[in-house]
Amino acid sequence: MTVVAQTAGQGPRATARRLAGALHRRPRLRLALLLTAPLLWLAVLYLGSLAVLFVSAFWTTDSFTSEVVKVWSADNFHTLFTTPVYRQVILRSVGVALAVTALCVVIAFPVAFYTARVARPRWRPLLVVAILTPLWASYLVKVYAWRLILSQGGLCDWMLEPLGLSGPGFGLPATVLTLTYLWLPYMILPVHTALAQFPANLLDASADLGARPGRTFRSVVAPMVLPSVAAGSIFTFSLSLGDYITVQIVGGKTQLIGNLVYSNIELDLPMAAALGTVPVVVIVLYLLAMRRTGALSSI
């Protein structure tokens, strides 16, 4: 009687154990079970949507009904490359992304150098937190704050007034400035980490061999931190290239590629898709370029 009850009680548990044992003996099965869901997610939702984007760029729209006509044609891409305004906007967008990235590098280096090497060690984590804090604030709040700063008679004008200057107002410089502010932490963090881990004796070694600080920076620090800078630039570049809200708020009349996608999406989905593939292609090219620096392994 007791025996029967016991076996019954242990039934499910024994099965579970057998199952666990089976899984333990078959690592491939285990891996498959573990990865199926995330891989499906990646393939179907992520790559799938990219594929749909690309495919739909080859469709057209009925100009009367604005309904998508599923007939293959490269018209959209033809328009894209032959219409001067599109070319101009694409170049402007890439230019903004590059400018933001360059500014981020220039600003991030001294800041990261300070937080990683100069500041007292017990202050460093706090400084890193301080750098990250803006990331917790809402994107829109930050951009609107910059709108206030850059507006007529705003903080920027007020500070430049004694010098007989005025702020840049709304426009392309304001956009670059605001985007730089927005994405700066993404650049500082990897550079900070790289500098924090940078072996101090390499600086000594370089100086010892006769290199002045500038030379040491160029030949030793920069090449070793470069992968991290490249990693950070992947964020600053792609986030800038995809942005269309900041430019609406502080960009004055400037339009970037995101704005074109946005304004086409209701009326001409295929054209919007064609426009949308441009940043994707640019970013893929950028990633390929950055991969050579070893950036992808330091993200």
Q: Footprint of other proteins on this chain (CB under 8 A)?
A: 61, 63-66, 83, 85-86, 88-89, 144, 147-148, 151-154, 169-170, 199, 201-202, 204-212, 215, 219-220, 223-224, 248-249, 251-253, 255, 260, 263-264, 266-268
Q: Which is nearer to other proteins, 241 or 269 (CB)?
A: 269
Q: Which is nearer to other proteins, 189 or 247 (CB)?
A: 247
> Tokens 């089976």 label which residue?
22
* Percent composition of the chain: helix, strand, coil (DSSP 3-state, to 5): 80, 0, 20
State in angstroms the smallest separation of the CB of 253 from other proteins.
Answer: 5
The whole-angstrom separation of Cα 24 and Cα 45 is 31
State in angstroms the smallest separation of the CB of 182 from other proteins.
Answer: 18
State in angstroms the smallest separation of the CB of 216 from other proteins.
Answer: 9
Q: Which is nearer to other proteins, 37 or 85 (CB)?
A: 85
Provide the token pair at 210.
């006769």
Q: Detail the DSSP E strand segments found in the chain.
A: 60-61, 68-69
State in angstroms the smallest separation of the CB of 33 from other proteins.
Answer: 37
The whole-angstrom separation of Cα 262 and Cα 248 is 11
Provide the token pair at 131.
């750098």
Q: Which is nearer to other proteins, 185 or 227 (CB)?
A: 227
Query: What CA–CA distances, in Å, run from 206 to 201, 214, 228?
Result: 8, 11, 21
The whole-angstrom separation of Cα 62 and Cα 71 is 11
State in angstroms the smallest separation of the CB of 27 from other proteins.
Answer: 31
Q: Which is nearer to other proteins, 220 or 278 (CB)?
A: 220
